[in-house]
Structure 1
Amino acid sequence: MKQLKILLIVVLATHFCLAQTKEFRQLDSIFNVLYQQNQFNGSVLIADKGNIIYEKGFGLRNETTQKENNTNTIFELASCSKQFTAAGIVVLKRQGKLNYTDKITRFIPELKQWDKVTIYDLLRHTSGIPDYIASMTDNWDPNKIATNNDVIQFYANRKDTLRFEPKSNYRYSNSNYALLASIIERVSGKKYADFLATNIFKPLKMKNTFVYNRREKPQKIDNQAIGYVWAKKSFQKVTADDPKYGQKSVYYLDGVVGSAKVNSTVGDLYKWVNALKSDAFFTPEEFAAMTEITQTDKGKNIDYGFGLDIRKGDNKFTYGHTGNWDGYTSLIYHDQIKDRTIIVLQNFNLGAIPFNNIQQLLNQSPLTPEFKKKVSLSESVLQQFTGDYTDQEEKEDKHRITYQEGHLIYNTTSADWDMRFFPISDNEFKGIRQGGADAVIKFNRDDKGKMNMEMLQNGRKIGFGIREE
């Protein structure tokens, strides 16, 4: 009987390993396709029911050294940083140093014009405060790196009015979390980075997680991923502030923390998710406040908690966040009901995430390919689609299709969109775009033999043109 039990355990263990291997291979196939098509460059960790079933790095973390991403590579989290800023506020609340209902002018008296705004409003984006990224774009010296104090002084001098009455509406604003970081510093008497390290990262043994301003205070960091974009009209990867791309804001806003600037690894973030889901760090009451769906004064649901996007319903409870800044894209997602975690960190701004396919595989549902594979077409075939296409309803602004390095490039005569498309059939081309937007261009000849183009987004026609011959 004992031998039979041992044999049964071995058989079950072998079957479990084979099942895991199958999932790994399926996921690996999907991510490899994306990597080969310039749609993925980074690290990913996927866990189901407490077990990591897929963890891997793809592509280069540094184009100069040619070193590769791996499961321990450190990435800037962009807006995924906000949940840690919110966590810092929860800790200060626990310590009795503030209340969520406190007005922000208690801590930042310089912003007296916003005396109706509370900490709750900052956390849930119901403040009406304008976004500093947009406000400072044309009103800041691009050669000077701004800090949180600069943001406060900027708005104190301008005396901007609120976009709406606090609690009457929800509008995402990076300013909310920059101000929360400043409140953390003023209440605790510590730098934002030091407070998070002492009170969150170290207790959770997140050894590779820290706040880092790579332009304001550059350091040599082992296994760090550099954020990249494609240079305009080129397939060369450069940093976003490179003149070949020209996004100056990532330079002069590099000193602002709270809305971004936390750096981490997929493994450390998995520790964070495990702490959230199990009440290992926050009390059940604290976690409930962080993940509560509230309402505006007008009765509209706010699906945003404390630095977390929240979705709740019948047998549904998920939370997480996305980020996109300075050549980095990120996703932290957890399904509390299914005990499922998806963490994706990328150092390429056009990176895609096969979220639906991951869910289908883990749910053991039929797999509907989310991203079609690139097909091989010769340069001569691709060149036959180039030219200017005129929409009869908008004749002045023409669609312009050019060819470059195996791709068709989309612009218009009035704007440089620099969108890149690769072939997925003899006459269909898939757009390489961030954020999951499903852009496709189709080409066909009409009854008169003229080449027509049709642009689709998520299956809906958004553009049409006839080529000028």
Structure 2
Amino acid sequence: MKISYKYLPPVLVITLSIFILSARSGSSENSKKVISSSVKDTEKATSIVIEHYSKNESKYVSLKLDSLLQRVHKRNDFHGSLLVAKNGKILYENQIGYANFNRKEPLNDGFTFQLASVSKQFTAAAIMLLYERNQVQLNDLVNNYFPNFPYENVTIKNLLNHTAGLPKYFWVTDNKWKQQKPPTNSEMMQLLDSVNVQRFFSPGQKFDYSNTGYFVLASIVEKVSGLSFGDFIKQNIFEPLQMKDSFVYSFEMDSVRTNQLDGYKLVKGWKHFRINKSLNDAIVGDKNVYSTCEDLLKWTLGLNNGLILSEESLNLMYSKGETINGRKIPYGFGFRIDERDEKAIYHHGNWNGFSTSLTRYPEEDLVIIILEHTSYKGLTALNNSIKKIVTKNFKA
């Protein structure tokens, strides 16, 4: 599956000097944001300019999307953020609802959302960075890095494709963890070593979506790099792409950041209750990246324009996996792959009240990012409605 580089904005500049320039003109109809940063382990500096369509260009589709967002907010208790980008430029960006219900504090673009399973693409990218540096191979066994890992013959590729057959670590925590504080990745790896929990199937037999596999991948990143998973992602992805509002958060291990949102649930149709953290909230790799819509657009553009990984690595990430019997599965490395009529590379996430979605339609050069924190259930329907509005009402 070939990767199209049509996402490359015409104003992308690659230069040997590092410079920082940022500008947004409130009076200009076509505002721009310039992101400048150095890319690790290369001699080049990169500068991405994220442009916004002018008010005149986006006026009609913005009215339609405003109306949709208002309806979803009122009918389905949507409190979140939405960004739509077309041809590498922001077509629509807005927030609606509350950040904090006790204070009636409205959301704005500065609040960070727990990405839930959308976090998995960062874990996969971290592994591919190590792969490009020849520090790991996709056919390496987990036992190469953790000799006491009790599930033999599991490869890194099995973990990436969800074909490892590992048990659910949520169940292991709830039933085998004896401490009050939540386990970290290293403690969970040790716990798996010490308890006798049966795997679901032998590696490669079939596809079974697994949070366990991605926490194990993050643990491999830590073991190989000598850094915490959060520091590795920060140094190799967030800082190079100037994703200044993004971070990895482990409950009770890291400090809560300013503007870091809590997840909520609606009770009895009118009262919002904050969802408390659980014993599974210190584990990272399968979840626990926090970000904003605009940072996720920086990530999407940077990743697909070759600023983080090579074309070879992207092709691997965006190719369907397969079982040992040759049956294709709808998952690459950290991304779901939909090759039906509306071809899409995407991921959804749901955790502790957060509902998240990042969808890219390569053939239409369209990106839709949805972040919500009150247990919203209609991500797929909302994404489809947004795409329909943009397709029907915007031509560029």
TM bucket normalised to smaller: 0.7 to 0.9
Match of 2:345 in 1: 319
- 1:334 deviates by 0.5
Match of 1:164 in 2: 201
- 1:165 deviates by 1.4
Match of 1:445 in 2: none
2:275 to 240, 243, 267: 240
**Structure 2: gaps (5+ residues):** 1-52
CA contact (8 A) 2:141 2:155 kept: yes
- 1:168 deviates by 1.0
SS at match of 1:37: helix
CA contact (8 A) 2:353 2:373 kept: yes
Match of 1:430 in 2: none
TM value normalised by structure 2: 0.81
Deviations 1:28-47 (A, max 9, x none): 10110111224311111011
Find the aligned partners of 1:286 and 1:129 in 2 and give their Cα distance: 25
Distance 1:152 1:38, change over 3 A: same
Aligned AA (1:161): Q
Match of 1:308 in 2: 335
Pairing of 1:301-450 with structure 2 (within 5 A): 301-312=328-339, 317-353=343-379, 354-364=382-392
Over aligned residues, Cα RMSD in angstroms?
2.1
CA contact (8 A) 1:44 1:57 kept: yes
Distance 1:142 1:63, change over 3 A: farther
2:217 to 177, 180, 204: 180
Distance 1:235 1:17, change over 3 A: closer
Find the aligned partners of 1:214 and 1:229 in 2 and give their Cα distance: 19
Find the aligned partners of 2:240 and 2:116 in 1 and give their Cα distance: 23
Find the aligned partners of 1:347 and 1:100 in 2 and give their Cα distance: 35
Structure of greater Rg: 1
Find the aligned partners of 2:322 and 2:135 in 1 and give their Cα distance: 26
Deviations 1:416-447 (A, max 9, x none): xxxxxxxxxxxxxxxxxxxxxxxxxxxxxxxx
Deviations 1:232-261 (A, max 9, x none): x563212223xxxxxxxx421121111111
Distance 1:44 1:16, change over 3 A: closer
SS at match of 1:224: coil
The structure 1 segments of at least 4 consecutive aligned residues displaced by more than 4 Å after TM superposition are none
Find the aligned partners of 2:69 and 2:179 in 1 and give their Cα distance: 38
Residue 52, structure 1, aligned to residue 90, structure 2? yes
Find the aligned partners of 2:245 and 2:270 in 1 and give their Cα distance: 31
Find the aligned partners of 1:207 and 1:160 in 2 and give their Cα distance: 40
CA contact (8 A) 2:113 2:372 kept: yes
Which structure's relative contact order is higher, taking Cα pairs within 8 Å and 6+ residues apart?
2
1:258 to 285, 292, 297: 285
Distance 1:260 1:334, change over 3 A: same
Match of 1:461 in 2: none
Find the aligned partners of 1:355 and 1:203 in 2 and give their Cα distance: 29
Find the aligned partners of 2:178 and 2:83 in 1 and give their Cα distance: 40
CA contact (8 A) 2:114 2:290 kept: yes
Deviations 1:258-307 (A, max 9, x none): 11110000000001111232223211101001111132123321111111
SS at match of 2:285: coil
Greater Cα shift, 49-58 or 84-93: 49-58
Deviations 1:121-140 (A, max 9, x none): 00110000011113333333
SS at match of 2:349: strand
Aligned AA (1:238): F
2:262 to 189, 208, 226: 226
Aligned AA (2:131): K
SS at match of 2:331: coil
Residue 79, structure 1, aligned to residue 117, structure 2? yes
SS at match of 2:176: coil
CA contact (8 A) 2:262 2:275 kept: no
CA contact (8 A) 1:239 1:326 kept: no
CA contact (8 A) 2:321 2:330 kept: yes
Aligned AA (2:82): V
Distance 1:16 1:184, change over 3 A: closer
Find the aligned partners of 2:314 and 2:85 in 1 and give their Cα distance: 21
CA contact (8 A) 1:145 1:216 kept: no
Residue 272, structure 1, aligned to residue 309, structure 2? no
Aligned AA (2:66): D
- 1:363 deviates by 1.7
CA contact (8 A) 2:266 2:273 kept: yes
Match of 2:67 in 1: 29
Find the aligned partners of 2:97 and 2:75 in 1 and give their Cα distance: 11
- 1:17 deviates by 4.6
- 1:152 deviates by 1.2
Deviations 1:392-425 (A, max 9, x none): xxxxxxxxxxxxxxxxxxxxxxxxxxxxxxxxxx
CA contact (8 A) 1:110 1:152 kept: no
Find the aligned partners of 1:162 and 1:340 in 2 and give their Cα distance: 39
Find the aligned partners of 2:101 and 2:55 in 1 and give their Cα distance: 36
CA contact (8 A) 1:75 1:328 kept: yes
Find the aligned partners of 1:214 and 1:304 in 2 and give their Cα distance: 28
CA contact (8 A) 2:83 2:90 kept: yes
Pairing of 1:82-101 with structure 2 (within 5 A): 82-101=120-139
SS at match of 1:337: helix
Aligned AA (2:239): K
- 1:213 deviates by 2.3
Deviations 1:310-344 (A, max 9, x none): 12367x64212111001111001111111000001
Find the aligned partners of 2:196 and 2:329 in 1 and give their Cα distance: 27
